[in-house]
Amino acid sequence: MAIEKEAPLIEMHSVWGELKFKRLAGSEQFRKEIPKLFDLAKAEILMTTGLSHEFYNDSAIKNALCNAIAREVKIRIIVDGRKEDRDITSELSNINWMKEKIKNRQIEIKKCEREIKHIMVVDKRHSRLEDTHALTVREDYQ
């Protein structure tokens, strides 16, 4: 098992072949890595998320997800239900491109009624796991 330690924020790994963990710090590192994860998708991307518009409106994230849709990858999103007032419609009001993809049934989205860990799983083979964090706008992502 190989471990590259940079900071305690995100883990990404592949479960086939050598198990590899890569810890990333800050938005600049995962802005580069997350699109690479989406680019691996051949069949499915499953995400549990806080639905941050700063993240989903990032051009690299948006382009990687749109490219996955063009490849006919199934994208399913489960939204963290941590905040009682969290409404998918109000969150999506700041992510117009995603609203259109949901309307066209290219992205499936549901809200969980409880707190959940934020993960991404691609083709049941590659994954990303976030350390627990507040559901607020991150200063370093602006």
- Say if CB 30 and CB 10 are below 8 A apart: yes
Q: State the chain's mean pLDDT as an integer.
A: 77
pLDDT digits (tens, 9 = 90+) for 2-45: 444 444 444 444 554 554 556 666 556 667 888 999 999 999 99
The closest alpha carbon to 52, from 139, 138, 114, belongs to 138
Domain 2-132 class in CATH: alpha beta
Tell me, what's the pLDDT at 67? 98
Tell me, what's the pLDDT at 55? 86
**For residue 52, is pLDDT > 60?**
yes
What percent of the chain shows pLDDT beyond 90? Answer: 35
**For residue 136, is pLDDT > 80?**
no
Q: Distances in Å between the alpha carbon of 69 and those of 8, 41, 86?
A: 31, 10, 26
Enumerate the domain spans of the chain. 2-132
- Say if CB 54 and CB 141 are below 8 A apart: yes
Q: Which two tokens stand for residue 99?
A: 């609203």
Distance CA 33, CA 36 (A): 5
